[in-house]
Amino acid sequence: MTDTRGQRPSYDTYNGPLPGERGGTQPQGPYHPPQAYGTPAQGVPAGGGATSGGQGAAATRKPRTGARTTPRTRKARLRVAKADPWSVMKVSFLLSIALGICTVVAAAVLWMVMDAMGVFSTVGGTISEATGSNESNGFDLQSFLSLPRVLMFTSVIAVIDVVLMTALATLGAFIYNLSAGFVGGVELTLAEDE
């Protein structure tokens, strides 16, 4: 195989400008780096027409003004198309039991605080004097509002509340599924937390 490139110059005796340096033969003035896209001054049409070489050219490329400083938050738009009535019933049953227990505990604490403050004895004495006569002592509020009776009444209310809340939540899931079939359901926009 023969070398057809001819004689190459010796780099030891070369005194011209190196690649990337400005030589003395270039005109003095501002430096213009080479452009990736052609400009109308170079014979490329501004509308993006084809040059004589047959290549399409776009408009003049604009430099980037700067990097993005704030992170982009991704958002997703979702739609609740169906609520499973079985899962709604289970969750509402557990939540209503928790609410019933809180109701019973709150009633017991409230009764103890009012009894420690003497509310039942004072109000009970006033009511017994107002409703009493010479033959009877009147209405006894303290025996009527005793702690076991109050807790039993509150427990009955809590059990009724558990049954009603569970039934109403399950019925609400069925009604939501019917209405979502007509209008498409509730739309939610979720954003990713950075």
Residue 174 has pLDDT above 90, yes or no: yes
Compute the distance between CA of residue 19 and CA of residue 30 in angstroms, rounded to an integer: 18
CA 28 remoteness from chain centre: 60
Question: In the structure, what pLDDT confidence band is assigned to residue 94 with cuts at 50, 70 and 90?
Answer: very high
By percentage, how much of the chain surpasses pLDDT 90? 30
How far is Cα 96 from Cα 172, in angstroms, rounded to an integer? 15
Residues 177 and 88: beta-carbon distance below 8 Å: no
Model confidence, pTM:
0.53
Distance, CA of 143 to CA of 146 (rounded, Å): 5
Percent of the chain with pLDDT over 70: 61
> Residue 123: its pLDDT value, please?
80
Q: pLDDT tens for residues 25-43?
A: 555 677 777 776 665 555 5
| Average pLDDT score over residue span 112-121 | 85
Q: Are 58 and 48 in contact (CB under 8 A)?
A: yes
pLDDT at residue 188 in the model: 87
- pLDDT, position 169: 96
* Per-residue pLDDT, 54: 47
The pLDDT of residue 177 is: 93
Average pLDDT in the chain: 77
As a whole number of angstroms, the distance between CA 124 and CA 57 comes to 98
3-class state of residue 164 by DSSP: helix
Please, are residues 92 and 174 in contact by the beta-carbon 8 Å criterion?
A: no
- Tell me how far CA of residue 69 lies from CA of 66, 73, 86, 192, in angstroms: 9, 13, 47, 18
